Structure 1
Amino acid sequence: MELSPLFLPALLLILIPDVFTHRTAAQANSTNATLFSCSSDTSPVHPCATFVLYRTQPGYTDLAHISDLFGTSSQIIQEANGLPSESITFLLGQLIAIPINCGCTGNRSFANVTYWIASGDNFYLVSTRQFENLTDYLTVEALNPGAKPNELKPGQAVLVPLFCKCHDEAMAERGINYLMTYTWAAGDDLSKLSKELNSSAEEIRAANNNRDFSAAVYKPILVPVAEKPRLAVLFYNATSSSDGGRRGKFHKKDIILSSIISAASAVVICTLLVLACCKVSPNKIVARTTSNLEGVRELLSPRKLAPSKNQALSPRAKGNKVLAGVSQFIEKPAMFDFKSIMEATMNLSSAYWIEGSVYQATLDGEVYAIKRAKGIDVAEELNIFQMVNHTNLIKMAGFAVHEDGVCFLVYEFAENGSLDKWLFAKASSSDSVSCLSWRQRLNIALDVASGLQYLHEHTRPSIVHGGIKSSNVMLDAHYKAKISNFSKAKPATVGLRPSADVFDFGVLLMELLSGRRDCVEERESGGTMWREMRAVLGVEEKGERLRRWMDPKLKGLYPADGAVTVAGMARACTREDPAERSRISEIVFGLTVLAQSCSDAFDRAWAASSEETMAITDVVAR
């Protein structure tokens, strides 16, 4: 329902007293533990698709910031709520449905999202204010054992477990397909709420163990429903032009009255904001636009100098979260001077050669990786890079074109080179590299999965990379993995689906486990690594069988159950039927839980054995 500009400030005055009610009542962890408990023996199959219901509040009144908070995409929330656009602005206090994947972690049902700590945050405030009691601070602390509650730092990433639950077979027989999580508000009435959410009072009581709802204020409850919720959402779209240009043409009385009401609203809002200590993100989300590339030279406005360190390649400000790793602005790459690149590489001297057609060059004081290609082959890759920007995707700084058609693509430089050099290095190799630890391998897998999740779910249309393999995974100075080589990347079509990337990622997981390279040429003959994995996990003694299959360079310093879990993920990714393969979001969820629960004992043992390994040296041009 779209509202006029005059109606917005007037309604704000009505809604403000209820919207800003302080929702920081004590959180009852014992009740939540019972209501959202799960067991691998008796619970439904996890993860399952369901929803949490969230009320818009200052700082979270547009899809960009709300999707950022919940680690999903604006498009997914837009479609779930039947909204006409991704660029709308909600009124305060509007109830919207957030799609989540609910999983069973230990004996509790959660949907884990990553939250980046801001100045002044603590676990209690994050739980009660930002996430409106859809979680509780004790559970957040328990899931982040490495984070000290009294020493949280801005920019620190923590896992926030949202309470959720999957419906069981008995519910499905009664027509219930979702159990939505809703925070009971002061003044809620069970009869009215059941009608608003298209449920029934009896089903809500049964799903919540017949609890006393008068004692459930500011606590999460379960709402069983048969279908996706269709909520009556009030919003104001300041950028819509569907009214034929009427917006902005108001009578003088309307303008004066609107100004008076807006001023009064502003005074009330500012006062309550101070009292509530609400934090509003200072940055606006800028809508991404794409353009068709008709030629490399005509693609972008030329800039002869490389971008400075504070521009395209600067780290994202740690407090500004946009899709949990997506840079806020997607800038056009710069036009580099062709002659400068040739001088920086001494006419592509072997002294600056890295591998393939890639060279190292220092331009304007910055070190870059330079890839030589034909101009006709790079137009699509440039187009893809205009559409994406994520911390786990290699960044393109710019390009240079020569009159004879030779083109140089300029990328950020990854100090530790490609992943294959670390996984498959021979003991006799002249490159002095150390073996990757179990934690490093887990983090690399999570990085790659996060980059793929962005390509598959946070771009429009979805993008299929088409070449996920260890040689196309680059490691920076801190071993953060970045997906590179987008020469085969294309928008998803009927004949090219994200499930192809999921299969390749499953093979990459197997390489991380085994330390052996998968032979692509042998896939059609059946002698492939993914078939080996099926055989390993298809026996009763799979733990022992997998131990013999694991990379001996790990020296057994990894959790056996963790290795079995990752192997199971790899098998789920490489099913022959693409429709049966796991979604990359499910893999990100599982790897996140594993990475967070990885014991420090293995790190200490690995550090103690590091004297027996060769020293690490940075990858440099040779």
Structure 2
Amino acid sequence: MKLNFFSPLLFIISLPYLHNLHNVQAQPSTIGYNCTASNQSSSNTCQTYAFYRATPPDFLDLASIADLFSISRPMISNPSNISAPNSTLIPDQSLFVPIRCSCNTLNSSLTLSYAGLNYTIRSGDTFYLVSTHSFQNLTTYQSVEAVNPTFNPIRLEPGDVITFPIFCRCPNASQVRNQVNYLISYVYQTSDNLSRIASRFGSSVQSIIDINGNNISPADTIFIPVSRLPNLTQPIAPRLAPERDDRDGTTVGLGIGLGICGLILCLVCGIWYYREGLMKKKERKYRDEEKGQKGVKELLKGEEVTLMADVSGCLDKYKVFRIDDLRDATDGFDDKCIVQGSVYKGCIDGEWYAIKKMKWNAYEELKILQKVNHGNLVRLEGFCIDPEEANCYLVYEFVENGSLYSWLHENKNNEKLSWKTRLRIAIDVANGLQYIHEHTRPKVVHKDIKSSNILLDSNMRAKIANFGLAKSGCNAITMHIVGTQGYIAPEYLLDGVVSTKMDVFSFGVVLLELVSGKEAIDEGGNVLWDSVGGILDGNEERKLKKLREWMDQYLVNESSSSAMMESAMGVVAVGVACLNKDPTRRPSMVEIVYALSKSDDLFFDVSEDGLSPRQVIAR
């Protein structure tokens, strides 16, 4: 059977798309600015400045910004014309941050100019997020990966110390002779133009072009030549005039009068007042102590009630576990029980569970999970609340065979997935996504579809896991970009558009992983979807030749039958359609399920409960 099964999707795949496939995800492409000792200053290092903007909520004070750049607050306040280093900043307030720029040799063929800043990874951090949010595009995630080759960007652990290369340049000898003392690192904004920048910094448009060229885009780091730092005009914080209290004199006079009266009263009634005062003091002390104890009890009880109220709608649907049971099941949440990240494996009453430990931010995930029930989604069994530590634990079914990522890329037991199994996994995931996209109200967008979030049960059937980033409702705009490099849809990355089509894009990357056996992003920062560009070009013979060279060689060796190759070609075509830069031209999950299910190589019934491990795993 030829590829005519794919006809419902052929209108999606066009030659212009294939020609421009490498532009699907617009991201920074440079890893930095090349340098040599000859084109830097004579010492090959210099003191320069980066232009930085105060941003809420994390960087609205000099202390947090100084910590980020590993300097002191006065080192920022002095060049930035801020008189009080302890003052609170306003959003978008301009700052000059001093950095030490140097020419750094990474390998025999790569030498970059940057200021290396050490940053300690926190939970949820990625190279991309820290580069764009914390360092405001003064570097790129590709440059971070190049400078930190020993770290896997998709497996960062809290506490990892990463060097972030802040782009900078030192004036060369010719520039120094022309009284250029600093090349200020500046991130070009969408509202900028060179004339305005030149006027603000006391430079000239031509001198900026001479250094940076004339092809400048938003988010590019450019270098502004100046002989001295311009004087930043800072907003004046309103000062409150001291409030005059007209009662001061009255208070003083009243105090003197009361003192005299008190002295007289003490002489007349001293003994009686002393006795009465002592009695009342003891009574008040006992009453306050009783009230305090009652208040503490009510506060503790109130916290637990608040936590339970958030999930009250789930109490009749899920089992509520005791924290002691979870501790016993995981040996006190010992590291040896960790499956991945903050997920532990534990046995309770003879049943194995996956226990996800969270701070109290599980409400959104619970709200979504209680609406879904599908065989291709990991099932939530219950939850637990620990008000003492403000932790919430989500207890899921334990999926025996781990993640698709581990089967495709880690290969610990030298076991490989057959093509039938990979195709079955693709259809399972497509069915799960079709369910949350089409059969929930409002629709659910997973937002983090990737091979490590696809789990395989004892029959090697796939289940979608980790709804921690999921959103109920779509076609929304967000400024908080989250996700995994290599899987992020371009419209979400650039504009924050949340829709079901961003899951379709990520699923397309998973399809390419299944066919190629390659990771979504390699050690050099190259994305997988960029390597599939020309496979669908040319006649059938040329397509099949290029596909054999690109796909997982285990599959080629397993079977080179025309049926298997046509099936693989069809899956690649579906994947390419999913990766269309225009989200409106990507297929729906309904179309994708239909196209994948028509493959000739799917020899088993699509409604079958499962296959034995011997049928799906080859050693």
Query: TM-score range with shorter-chain normalisation?
Result: 0.3 to 0.5
- Higher Rg: 2
Q: TM-score, normalised by structure 1?
A: 0.43
Q: TM-score, normalised by structure 2?
A: 0.43
